Structure 1
Amino acid sequence: MARLKIYQLGSLILTCVVLVNAGVFRDNNNNQNDERRTCGYEGCPKIDPTKLNVHLVAHTHDDVGWLKTVDQYYYGGRNSIQKAGVQYIIDTVIDSLRKDPERRFIYVETAFLWKWWQRQTEKLREEVRGFINEGRLEIISGAWSMNDEATTHYHSIVDQFTWGFRRLNDTFGECARPKIGWQIDPFGHSREQASLFAQFGFDGMFFGRLDHEDKTARLKEQRAEFLWKASSSLGEKADLLSVALFNNYSPPPGFCFDILCQDEPLIDDPESADNNIDSRTKEFYNYLIDQSHYYQTKNIILTMGGDFTYQDAEMYFSNLDLLIRYTNKIYGSQINVFYSTPSCYIKSIHEADKIWTTKSDDFFPYSSDPHAFWTGYFTSRPTLKYFERMGNNYLQIVKQLSILSSKMDSDDLQHLREVMGVMQHHDAVTGTEKQHVAEDYARLLHESIVKSSDIISDAILKIASKNNTSNTYEDTKFYSCLLLNTSTCTVSEDSKKFVVTLYNPQSNPVSSYIRIPVNGKSYIVNDHTGAEILTQLVPIPLAVVQLPGRKSIATRELVFRALNISAFGYQSYFVSEKLSDDDEVNIADSDKSISSDLYDISVDEAGQVVVQWKKENIKVVQSFHYYIGAVGDNSNAEKRASGAYIFRPNESAIHNFIYSGYHEIFKGPLVQEIHLTVNDHVSLVVRILDNEEQVEFEWLAGPIPIDDKKGKEIVIRYSSNLQSAGTFYTDSNGREMLKRKRNYRPTWNLNLQEPIAGNYYPVTAKISLEDRDKGYKLSVLNDRAQGGSSLTDGELELMIHRRLLVDDAFGVEEALNEQAFGTGLVARGIHYLVGGNLNNLDTIALAEKSMALKLSLRPWALFTPLNNTDNFINWKNNYNMKAGGLRKKLPKNIHILTYEPWKNGEILLRLEHLYEIGEATQLSQPAEINIGDLFTDFDITSLRETSLGGNQWIESMNRFKWKSDNNDIEYDVNNTSVDQQVYIKNGVINVLLRAREIRTFIITGTKKTSTFIIDK
C-alpha cells in the first residue's frame, strides 16, 4: 500500500500523519518481484565503462494534428494525405514488447495514449501496466501534446503538462511519472520551457531542432550537451541538462526499418545471396564511431523512429534485434549496443561526472539553412492564435467557478482541459497545419467552450441567487458572447434590457472598460448599488461593420468602466435602453488630435499615428507596412519561399502602404478614439481611456489583397526617439524577458544572410526597448503570439497578419492562404503601448504586469436577456450583483496562477511571484502571504506542496546535480537556499514566494455556509 506523509493543518498545528491509500499519487509497482525488472533508473541497462555504449531508443513521433486532424491520425483516416494510424502503432508495439522482454519503447503524446487506453480490455490494460512497471514501456515528457515553445503561453504549457501527468498518474502510478523532457520537433526552443521542465522535476531534456550554424559549432566543440541556466531569478532550481540530438529525431541514414521507409532490412540467412550482415553492421559501426566524436562521454543515443513509425512494429523491432545482436557480436570489444530510453541515457552521462558548458539564452530564431528562418509561424494564423489565448482565459474561469459552485471535476471541464492541451501542439497554435486541420482545431475548441458554458452559467446563478428568488427568473442564463471580437452579441443587440455580469479570474480586484455592441440610441447602466454610472456610445468602425461574415445589426458600442471587480468574483450591471429621441452616439469631433494628462495623439499626412508623451521626452510614430513574401520552387536554399513556417521577404526593403483613407476623431467623458482607415484592408482605432495608462491600438488587417499574385506579410512599427544601441527584449512564453541584440547570437559567430527574418523573435506577451542614456523604456504588449523585432534603433516591429501564395516545402504542401466567407481572412487585435522612466521601475513594472494580465486573463462578460417589464429593483431583490471569492487582497507581486478541482474533493492551488529579479525594486522582493483564510468558501485544513506539475511531493523531488564550467551567471543566493516548507506562525499558514517562483499545493478545506463575500 502507498504510504504518504502529509502536513495536516487541523487546528492550524502542523502534524505529520501516515495515510494509507491516500489516492494522491498512485503506486502500481508495489507487488513486483525483486527478480523482475523495475521501472525508473534502477531498471536501466548496465553500461560498460570501457566501451562506447549505444543507447538505442525505439520511438514514434505522433503529431496531435498536422496534415490530418487528431481523429484522422488516431483512426488512420484519409491515408491519401498521410499514411498514419496511431491506434495501430500502439497495438503493434504492445504485441512486439510481448514477444521479447529485452525490447523497450518510449511513448510521449498522452492525448493519443489516453484515447487508445479507453478502448482496451482490462486484460490488455493489466499487461500494459506490467510493461510500464518493468520499464519496458516508458512514458517520456508526459504532456497532453508536444507543445510549441515560441507561441505558447506558460500558463497553458503548465496546464497541459499537469493534465497529462494526472492522467498518467491516475492510470499507471509512479512508474509512469516522466523524468525527462522530449521536445524533438518544435521549431526552436525557449528558455522558459527548460525552466518549467526543471520545476516539473525533470533531470534533463532532449531536443532536435537548433540553428544549423549553432549545431555545427556545438558538435565541433562537443557542446551538444550542456547545462541550461534557464532562469536568473530561480537559480539552480531552473538548471537543466539538455541534449541536442545528433540526427534530429531520425534513425541513422539507411537504418529506418519501418513500413514507411525504403531502407534495406538486415538479412542474416547464411544461405541467402542477399545476406548483408557484414556490410550493414560495418556501415552502422562507422556511423556510431563518427557520432561518438561529437559527444563527451562513452554514451551516445540513437533515435530509432520518426513520424508515425511502428505501424507495423515487428518489422522495426526484428531488424533492431538483428542490428544489436550482430553489432555486439562483431564489434563487441569496442561497442555495447542495447535497447534503452532517454532516461537511462541521462543517468549514464550523469554517472560520467563530467563538467558541462552552460547556456543562458534560448534557441530562437531557428534556421535550417541560411535562407530558411522559421520565424513566420510566430504570426501564422493570427485568428487561431487569438482563439487559443481566449480559450485559456475561459478555462481558468471554468476551473475557478467549478470550485466556487461546488460542481468540481466535471466531464465538460475535463474535455476543455484536453482540447486546450491539443491546442498547445507544435502544429496547432503555431499555424503550421493544413487548412482543414486548423478548422478542426477551431471546431474542437468552440464545441468545448459551448459544452462547458453551463458550468459558468450555473455557478454564477448559484452564487448570485438569493434565498427568496422567485419563479420569475427560474430560466435565468448567463450567456457568453464569443464574437465580441467582431463587435457582435445577440443578447445585447436584441434586448431592450439585459444584465451584463463581469467575472474576474485574476486574484486581485480589477477595473476594466467593457464595450457592448448595441443598436439603440441611448442607454442607462446601473451598478450593483443602483447608481447610474457614466457611459458613452461610440460608433463601431466602418471596417468592423463591413467585416465579411458579420451578421450583427449593431453599429455602435456602449462603453463604461467597471470599477473594482472582486478577485475570483463578479459584478453585475443592469442595462436598459432609454426611450428617447436623442441619439447619444459620439459625433466625429473637428479636433485634429486626442489628448490626456499623459499624451497628445494625432495623425499625420501619411496616415501615421504620432504619440507624444507630455511628461517624458518620448515620441512614437505608429505606422503599417508590409513585406512581399519570397517566391521560389524550394529546390535549393536560395529559392526558398516564404510560407507557414518560413518568413523570407523577397527583398530587404520594407514596403509602405499608400494612405488612401481617412480618419475621424470621437471624444467623450470615458474614451477618446481616432478611427483611422489606411486603405481597404488596413485600419486602426487608437484609444485613450480615462484612468488608464496605456495607449490602445486596435488594429484590423485583411482581406490581404493578392490580385497582383504576390503574398504579403503585414507589420506594425512603433518608431521612437529612443536610442536602443541595437538591443531589445522579448518575453519567453509570457514569463521572463530575454535580451536580444541585432545581428548577434551569444553562443556562436553569426553569418546572417537573411537580415530581417534572422532578427525576428517570438513575442508572446511583450516586446521592449530601453534608452539607458535618456533613462526611458518603451514596451508593446500584445493579445496573442506574434513575430517581432527591432530592426532599427528606437523601433519596435510586430507582424500581425500573413497571406502567402506558395508553400515553403516543409511538409504542409499548402500555401498559407487563409480564407473565410469567400474572401481572405480578416484579423483584429490589440496592442498596448506604454513608456516610462527607468528611475521609476516599480511604476513601470506594475503597469506592464497589470496590462499583461488584462490581455491574458480578461474579465469575462456574461449576458442575461430580460423582458421589457423587468426592472433593476426586481433583479436586485432576486440576485446579488457583486460578490468576491477571496477575503483579502494579495500582495501586488503575488498572483494565483491555478485554482482548479483536483481529486477526491481536493483543490490544486498554484501561487506565483510575478516579477523577476531586477525587474523592479520593491516588487521583485520576496513576499509572504497567509493562505489559511484566503478563500471565502472554505478554510484550508490540510495542504501539501508538490512539484510544478502536481504529480510529485516536493520533498521527494531529488533531481540530478550537474557540474558546470559556468562562472558568469550570478544567482540570488537567498533565492536558491530558501526552505521550501510552509511557515506556521502565530496560528496562520504563511507561504513565502521569491522572485518568479511558482509553488504548487494540493489542499483540502472545510466548506463554509456562506461561500462568497456579498457586497450589497
Structure 2
Amino acid sequence: MGFGQTRLVVEYTCLHVYLKMFCQWMLLGFTLLFEELYGFPSVNVKEEKCGYESCHPVKEGFINVHIVPHTHDDVGWLKTVDQYYYGSNTNIQRAGVQYILQTVMDSLRKSENRRFIYVETAFFWKWWVQQSPSVQEEVKHYVNNGRLEFIGGGWSMNDEAATHYHSVIDQMSWGLRILNDTFGECGRPKIGWQIDPFGHSKEMANIFSQLGFDAFLMGRIDYQDKEHKWETKTPEVVWRSSKSLGESSDIFTGVLYNTYSPPPGFCFDLLCSDIPFIDDPNSFDYNVDARVDEFITYVDMVSQVYTTNNILITMGSDFHYQDAEAWFINLDKLIYYVNKRQETGSKYNLIYSTPSCYVKAVNDEAKDQEWLVKEDDFFPYASDPHAYWTGYFVSRPAIKRFERLGNNFLQVCKQLYTLSDLGFDDNSQLNNLREVMGILQHHDAVAGTEKQHVANDYTRLLQRAINGCENITGLALNKLMSLEAEQGDKPALPLFTCPLANISQCSVTEESENFVVTVYNPLSRYINKTIKLPVKGSGYTVVDGHGKSYLTQILPIADVVANIPGRQSEATNELYFIADDIPPLGWKSFIVSLDKSIKPEKILPVNLKDVRKIGTAGALLDLDPETGRITRISMEDTAISLNQNFYTYNGFVGDNSLFESRSSGAYIFRPTSDTPNDVSNRTVVSVYEGALVSELRQELNDYISQIIRINNIEKSIEYDWLIGPIPTHGSNGIEVITRYSTNLTTNGTFYTDSNGKEMLKRVRNFRPTWDVDIAEFAAGNYYPVTSEIAIRDEELGMELAILNDRAQGGTSLNDGEIEVMIHRNCLHDDAFGVEEALNEQAFGKGLVVRGSHYLTLGWINSTNGNSNAVKAKDIAQRKLLDAWTYITPLDQSIDEYKSTYTMEYSGLKEALARNIQILTLEPWRDSSFLLRLEHVFDYDEDSILSQPALVKLQDLFSGFDIVSLEESTLGGNQWLKDNTRLKFKTKETQEPSKSRQEIEDNLEDFEIALSPIEITNIC
C-alpha cells in the first residue's frame, strides 16, 4: 500500500453539488460564446488531451531531443517573495514573476506547438487569483491540451537537507491540492523536479514515489559523482528510496546534463547576451548554419552520456521568460532548422517537450532495459574539490528552529480546527499558515542561504501567520471547553502562548499570581510534559481538575540566560512541574497559584568538590570534581565513558577566484584546519540538584555556555546550549561545534536520519556508489542531521544517539565521536550568489542562539520493545509535535473556573499503539477531513514495535464518526486505485507489497493495516 491516503467522508446534502455543476455548465456556455466573439481560443472538450496523450510524437531511428522551456523562480532568495513576484528592488536583481507568467501565456497563444512547464505553485496561485475569468479559461485550455504543464507542484521547490518529512508532505500536498481544485486531472503533476536544491535525500525520493510520481529529475549532484555517472553512462537509475517499503518506493531518477541551464551559447532570454538566430539570407549576420552546427555538436556530447535515444535539454534558468517571446521565437527556429538537417542525414529530431513526455519516451523505448538500482542518497554535495555545500546545514540556526516551531503549531491548529468543527470552508488564517510554512521549505529559506533582508521577511511572514492561527486555536479551545461544560454564551477565555519562553520570558506568568496552564498534546498517545515557566515568585502550588497536587521545583534563571540581548523580563526564577497523563489529541489544565506562605526548600549551588554524580539511576552522570566535566554516563542498564565539549573552526577566507581560494560562507563549510580549537580555556561550573530536575551549568567562554539537565522523572538528559554573540573582531568567521566523545568502537561508521525518517549508514571518507577523493576532510564528511545522529558499537550491541531541535550538520571524524555544528558566522561571501556575509545580528549584537540536544543510550536490539531506537523515536516525536502550552490569567476562584471550563479532554476514544501516530488531521475539501496515519518504525529498528500494526477507525475519534473512506495517493489529489505509475525494470526485486484487494478489504472493515514506516491517509 505504501504511503497511501484514505478519504473519510461525512454525510451531507448534495444539493450544492448539483447547483455547482449547473453553474459550471452555464459558465462554460457563456465562455465559449465570449471567446468566439472576441477571438480567444475556443475550448473543444472532445479534442482536449493532456498528460502523456498530449506529448509530441518522437521519431523512431532518431535521437529525439526534448526541448523543455522552463523558468526557475526562487520563492525568496536575493529578494523577498513579493519583490520577486512584482519585480521590485531591481537594483538587486531584475526578476518579476508576474511578467513571466503573463508573457508565457501570450506566447503559448501564438502556437499550439509550443510547450512550457511551471513549478512553484506559490507564485502561480498569486498570479492566478488576479486574473480575469477569460484569462483563467484560456490558461485552463493550455493545461487541458498539455501546452502548459505543472511539474513538481509543491508550494515551493523545497530544500532536502534542512526540511522535515512532515513539512515536505504538507507543502507538497497544499500545492497539489490547489492545482487539483483548479485544473482537475490535467493539473496533476507526474514528475518530481528538484533542479536547484543542494543535494538530494532518500526521503524526498520516497515522498515523490508515494505521491504517485513517475520520476524524479534533479540538477545538482557532486562533481565527482557526476563525472562517474557520465563515464559509466548511468545518469539515470531506479532509486529504491525506502528499505522498509522496498519496490513500492522505487522511482526512476535522472540527473540533467547541464544542471538546469540552456546549452552554452543558446540562452535567448533578455537576461542573457547570446546570439539569436538570424535567418535572413540577405543579412550579413546570417548565422543559421553555424548555430545549428554548434547545437548539434552539443547534443552529440549529451547523447554519449544517456542510454536511450531520448535526451532532455533545459531551455531556461532563474527568472527567465520575462519576455517569453524572445525565447520562443528562437526555439521555434532552433527546432525548425535542426530538424531540416534530417534531409541531409542528421540523426537528431527536436521537439517541444516536458519532463513528463521525456520520461514517458524513455519508458516506452526501454521496456526491457534493466536499470541500475540506487539505495543511498546524494549527500553531501560538492561543486568543486574545496566547495562542499555542508555549511548551509547549519546557516541561520534561529530560522531553522522557528520553522520547526511553525510546523508544530500548524499541526496543533489543524487538529483543533477539525476537532472543534469550526467549519468546512477554507479558513484564510489556517491557509495562510499552510502557505507560509510552504514558503519556508524553499531551498533558500530554511536552508539559510538567503540575504538577510529576505530572512527577516520570512520570519515576519511566519510570525504573522502564527498569530492568525492562534485566533483559530483560541476559538477552538473555547468552543470545546465551553461545550463540555454546557455554559452557553460567555466572554471568550483568554489563551496566551509564550513565544519567548526560550529566553525565559513570559509576561503572563511573570505578572499573574494565579493562572491556568493548559497543555495541548498533538500526539496520539498519553504523554508527560515537563513544564518550565519563568516567574518572579518562589513558592507555587499546582493542582489539576481532580484536585491532585503536583510537586514543584524552583530554580534561579541562569545569568547567561538573564543577560541575553533583547530579553525584557523581571523573572528571576523558573518554575518546574511535571504535567502528567496529557490525553492524546487533547489537553489537560493545571491551576498554578502563588503562595507566599510556602517556604520552599531553596536549591543552592552545590560545591563542585562535593559532587561525584548527578541524576538518578535512570539517567546518571559521573563528574570530574576538578573540572566539572562529565566523564561517564549511565542510562538504565547501559553505561559508557563520555566527554562532551565545544570547539570552533576558523572559516577559510579567500578571493574565490580559484578552487583553492574558496571562502567559507552561507553555502559551504571550509575551515582553515580540520582540527578545531578547544574553547575551554576557562570553565565556570555550578550544580543544582532537585527532586524533578538536576542541572550542571557550564560557562566555557564569553559566548559559549550550556546547562546539562537531567530530568529525574522522565529519565532523560538534555544539553541546553547557548551560543553567541560570536566574536567578529580579529576573526574571519567562527563555526561552533559540540563533540560527544565515547569509548565505543565504531570503525569509521555513523548514522544520520533522512529528513527525520529512516536512518542512513555513513562511512567516513566513503561513498557507496563511487570512489571519492576528499580534499576537505571535515567538510567532506558532514551530513544533514534533521532530527538524529548516532554511533554504534556492533560488538557491544550498544548505540548512542543525539537528537536535535532543529536541522543541523553532523559527522564522526574520529571513532567513538559524534560532532554537531550548532552556530556559525562567516564574514566573507563564498561566491555562490548571495553576495553578502553570513553575520546575523539581533538587538545590535551578534545573534544569540539557544537550543537543545537530547542524548539517548541503549541497546541496538531489544526483546522487550525498548531498544535505543524506541527511546530516540519517542524523543523525536515529542519534540517534533511538542505539547503546546497556553496560559490564562485566573481572575476567579478555582472552584468557579472548574465548574465553567472543561479541564481535560481527548479527541481520541483511546490512545494509539506506541508504533502508530496520527501524522495529519486537518479540514480538507468537500466537507471532509484529511487524516494521515503512520507507522513510525523501520522494519529492523525494534523486534516488537517494528511489527505491522492494525488501526480500527470506526471508534477512533470522540468528536465525529467515519462514514466512508477511500485511499488516495500521499498528496490527496488522486485516488490510489486510479494511480498507475510507469514501471522501470531492475535486476533487484523484492516481495510485493500488500495487494490492492487487501487494502480495499481492510477499508471496508474500517481498519488500516500499517507495515513498518508506512503512511496511509483518511479524509
The answer to whether TM tops 0.5 is yes
Matched residue, 2:289: 278
Matched residue, 2:874: 850
Measured at CA, do residues 109 and 21 of structure 1 come closer, stay the same or move farther in structure 2, by a change above 3 Å?
farther
Q: Residue 452 of structure 1: SS of its match in structure 2?
A: helix
Within the candidate set 738, 761, 767, 2:783 is matched to: 761
Shift of residue 658, structure 1, vs aligned partner: 3.2
Measured at CA, do residues 934 and 706 of structure 1 come closer, stay the same or move farther in structure 2, by a change above 3 Å?
same
Whether 2:192 is the aligned partner of 1:181: answer yes
Per-residue Cα deviation, 1:691-749 (whole angstroms, up to 9, x for no partner)? 32331111110001111222100001010110011111000000011000000001111
Q: Does the 8 Å CA contact 2:1002/2:1009 hold for their aligned counterparts? A: no
Per-residue Cα deviation, 1:933-953 (whole angstroms, up to 9, x for no partner)? 100011100111110000010
Measured at CA, do residues 784 and 21 of structure 1 come closer, stay the same or move farther in structure 2, by a change above 3 Å?
farther
Unaligned runs of 5+ in 2: 12-16, 30-41
Shift of residue 606, structure 1, vs aligned partner: 5.1
- Bigger RCO (CA 8 Å, 6+ sep): 2
Whether 2:473 is the aligned partner of 1:456: answer yes
Q: Does the 8 Å CA contact 1:982/1:989 hold for their aligned counterparts? A: no
Matched residue, 2:375: 360
Q: Does the 8 Å CA contact 2:516/2:887 hold for their aligned counterparts? A: yes
Shift of residue 976, structure 1, vs aligned partner: 5.1
Measured at CA, do residues 666 and 548 of structure 1 come closer, stay the same or move farther in structure 2, by a change above 3 Å?
same
Within the candidate set 578, 581, 602, 2:623 is matched to: 602
1:864 maps to amino acid: T
Distance across 2 between alignment mates of 1:724 and 1:467: 55
Shift of residue 839, structure 1, vs aligned partner: 3.9
Shift of residue 542, structure 1, vs aligned partner: 1.1
Matched residue, 2:964: 942
Whether 2:886 is the aligned partner of 1:866: answer no
2:356 maps to amino acid: S
Shift of residue 567, structure 1, vs aligned partner: 0.5
Q: Does the 8 Å CA contact 1:932/1:939 hold for their aligned counterparts? A: yes
Output aligned runs, 1:409-420, within 5 Å: 409-420=426-437
Distance across 1 between alignment mates of 2:432 and 2:9: 33
Measured at CA, do residues 722 and 21 of structure 1 come closer, stay the same or move farther in structure 2, by a change above 3 Å?
farther
Whether 2:365 is the aligned partner of 1:346: answer no
Per-residue Cα deviation, 1:394-446 (whole angstroms, up to 9, x for no partner)? 00000000011111431100000000000000000000000000000000000
Matched residue, 1:1014: none
Q: Does the 8 Å CA contact 2:9/2:927 hold for their aligned counterparts? A: no
Per-residue Cα deviation, 1:94-123 (whole angstroms, up to 9, x for no partner)? 000011111100000000000000110000
Distance across 1 between alignment mates of 2:484 and 2:621: 52
Within the candidate set 525, 530, 546, 1:529 is matched to: 546
Distance across 1 between alignment mates of 2:492 and 2:943: 52
Matched residue, 1:813: 835
Q: Does the 8 Å CA contact 1:58/1:105 hold for their aligned counterparts? A: yes
Measured at CA, do residues 911 and 467 of structure 1 come closer, stay the same or move farther in structure 2, by a change above 3 Å?
closer
Q: Does the 8 Å CA contact 2:7/2:1018 hold for their aligned counterparts? A: no
Shift of residue 587, structure 1, vs aligned partner: 1.6
Whether 2:674 is the aligned partner of 1:657: answer no
Matched residue, 1:518: 535
The size of the alignment, in residue pairs, is 982
Measured at CA, do residues 603 and 251 of structure 1 come closer, stay the same or move farther in structure 2, by a change above 3 Å?
farther
Query: Structure 2 length normalisation: TM-score?
Result: 0.94
Matched residue, 2:689: 667
Q: Does the 8 Å CA contact 1:57/1:106 hold for their aligned counterparts? A: yes
Q: Alignment identity in percent?
A: 49
Shift of residue 912, structure 1, vs aligned partner: 0.5
Per-residue Cα deviation, 1:272-299 (whole angstroms, up to 9, x for no partner)? 0000000001000110111000000000
Whether 2:1003 is the aligned partner of 1:981: answer no
Measured at CA, do residues 175 and 467 of structure 1 come closer, stay the same or move farther in structure 2, by a change above 3 Å?
closer
2:876 maps to amino acid: A
Shift of residue 690, structure 1, vs aligned partner: 2.1
Measured at CA, do residues 179 and 470 of structure 1 come closer, stay the same or move farther in structure 2, by a change above 3 Å?
closer
Output aligned runs, 1:412-451, within 5 Å: 412-451=429-468
Distance across 1 between alignment mates of 2:644 and 2:221: 34
Whether 2:512 is the aligned partner of 1:492: answer no
Whether 2:163 is the aligned partner of 1:142: answer no
Q: Does the 8 Å CA contact 2:538/2:573 hold for their aligned counterparts? A: no
Q: Does the 8 Å CA contact 2:484/2:901 hold for their aligned counterparts? A: no
Matched residue, 1:917: 939
Matched residue, 2:39: none
Measured at CA, do residues 980 and 280 of structure 1 come closer, stay the same or move farther in structure 2, by a change above 3 Å?
farther
Unaligned runs of 5+ in 1: 12-18, 1003-1016
Q: Does the 8 Å CA contact 1:235/1:976 hold for their aligned counterparts? A: no
Q: Residue 341 of structure 2: SS of its match in structure 1?
A: helix
1:851 maps to amino acid: I
2:509 maps to amino acid: S
Distance across 2 between alignment mates of 1:792 and 1:604: 27
Whether 2:249 is the aligned partner of 1:215: answer no
Matched residue, 1:239: 250
Q: Does the 8 Å CA contact 1:607/1:678 hold for their aligned counterparts? A: no
Whether 2:846 is the aligned partner of 1:831: answer no
Whether 2:910 is the aligned partner of 1:888: answer yes
1:450 maps to amino acid: N
Matched residue, 2:522: 505
Distance across 2 between alignment mates of 1:44 and 1:435: 43
Matched residue, 2:33: none
Shift of residue 983, structure 1, vs aligned partner: 3.8
CA RMSD of aligned residues (A): 2.2
Q: Residue 649 of structure 2: SS of its match in structure 1?
A: strand
Distance across 2 between alignment mates of 1:620 and 1:508: 33
Q: Does the 8 Å CA contact 1:975/1:994 hold for their aligned counterparts? A: no
Shift of residue 377, structure 1, vs aligned partner: 0.3
Distance across 2 between alignment mates of 1:808 and 1:571: 50
Distance across 2 between alignment mates of 1:586 and 1:472: 46
Measured at CA, do residues 960 and 20 of structure 1 come closer, stay the same or move farther in structure 2, by a change above 3 Å?
farther
Measured at CA, do residues 94 and 980 of structure 1 come closer, stay the same or move farther in structure 2, by a change above 3 Å?
farther
Matched residue, 1:131: 142
Moved more, 330-339 or 706-715: 330-339
Distance across 2 between alignment mates of 1:581 and 1:228: 64
Matched residue, 2:32: none
Distance across 2 between alignment mates of 1:150 and 1:6: 29
Matched residue, 2:398: 383
Measured at CA, do residues 6 and 395 of structure 1 come closer, stay the same or move farther in structure 2, by a change above 3 Å?
closer
Q: Does the 8 Å CA contact 2:808/2:822 hold for their aligned counterparts? A: yes
Shift of residue 35, structure 1, vs aligned partner: 6.8
Q: Does the 8 Å CA contact 1:693/1:834 hold for their aligned counterparts? A: no
Shift of residue 239, structure 1, vs aligned partner: 0.2
Distance across 2 between alignment mates of 1:338 and 1:468: 68
Measured at CA, do residues 361 and 21 of structure 1 come closer, stay the same or move farther in structure 2, by a change above 3 Å?
farther
1:105 maps to amino acid: F
Moved more, 655-664 or 627-636: 655-664
Measured at CA, do residues 20 and 726 of structure 1 come closer, stay the same or move farther in structure 2, by a change above 3 Å?
farther
Shift of residue 203, structure 1, vs aligned partner: 0.2
